[in-house]
Amino acid sequence: MMHTKEGSLKLGLVQTDNTWQDIDASLAHLSIKMDKIDNSVDVIILPELFSTGFTMEAEGVAEAMDGKAVKWMRAHAKEKQSLVIGSLLIVESGTYYNRLIAAFPEGKTESYDKRHLFSFAGEDAVFTAGEERLIINYKGFKICPLICYDLRFPVWSRNTEEIDLLIYVANWPDARMLAWDTLLKARAIENLCYVAGVNRVGVDNNKLVYVGHTSAYDAMGASLMASKPSQEAIYYATLEKAHIASVRDKFSFLDDRDRFEIKQD
């Protein structure tokens, strides 16, 4: 299976709808899309809570880490020989998490629990917040994947570890798309790194409308792709380590960043 050359990373960004609280239907729908993804892709990115929708009715819908959705991610990571990233509604010992799963081709998984829970929708009353970022080292790139509302908090996104790529998986509604578009570009510019944001489309059971705006930016904030709002689609973006090195050599802005520690609650 042909993948990108050394020093490059090809992303497949899956902008999709799902079936509300129906894991089997959502996975079946996504399996058709996964089969269509270019075999040269190194990282496949799915939206937030892609198997259930952004539901607060966790009981009866949440899965364990050996549940069907995690197994589905692992199977497709192996089949496509790609890193597969997306978030799921996970339960452990009666505690619920909006958990980002990174499934690797060789079968292992790594995870990140959403730090900033969306209190506006009552997410903080259902889920337990994470306390640590996940940094993935993959094919020479340092990747930090985050979830939706995390995008609004630049301290949590700050590039303190020479990150090459920030990823945001989301259920970000149409009413606030200006913020989504603006903040993704800002995160790239301020952190001198690539940024990819994958958002869903469709209408959920809360009557919220989602129009996608899945996008990717380089370390200067330039767009790497053109997306079609409101349509299901698979987009591609190729990242180059040489671009990051060139930008940071020319503009040493990260050397002047503030030093801080994040205190846990």
The active-site residue, picked from 80, 123, 148, 185, is: 148
Strand ranges in the chain using DSSP code E only, listed in sequence order: 8-15, 43-45, 83-92, 95-103, 109-113, 136-138, 141-147, 165-170, 194-199, 201-203, 209-211, 215-217, 233-240
Query: Are 101 and 85 in contact, with CB atoms under 8 Å apart?
Result: yes
Is 48 a residue of the active site? Answer: yes
| Residue among 80, 114, 123, 193 flagged as catalytic | 114
Answer yes or no: 114 catalytic.
yes
Nearby residues of 28 by Cβ (< 8 Å), 6 or more positions away:
none
Through-space distance between the first and last CA atoms of the chain, rounded to whole angstroms:
46
The question of whether 148 is a catalytic residue gets the answer yes
- Taking the C-alpha atoms of residue 15 and residue 238, their distance in angstroms, rounded to an integer, is 17
Find residue 233's DSSP bridge partners.
Answer: 15
Sheet (strand 43-45) strand order: 109-113, 95-103, 83-92, 43-45, 8-15, 233-240
Q: Which of 191, 143, 149 is nearest to 167 (CA)?
A: 143
Is residue 45 within 8 Å of residue 147, measured between CB atoms?
Answer: no
Catalytic residue selected from 48, 63, 144, 193: 48
- Enzyme catalytic residues: 48, 114, 148
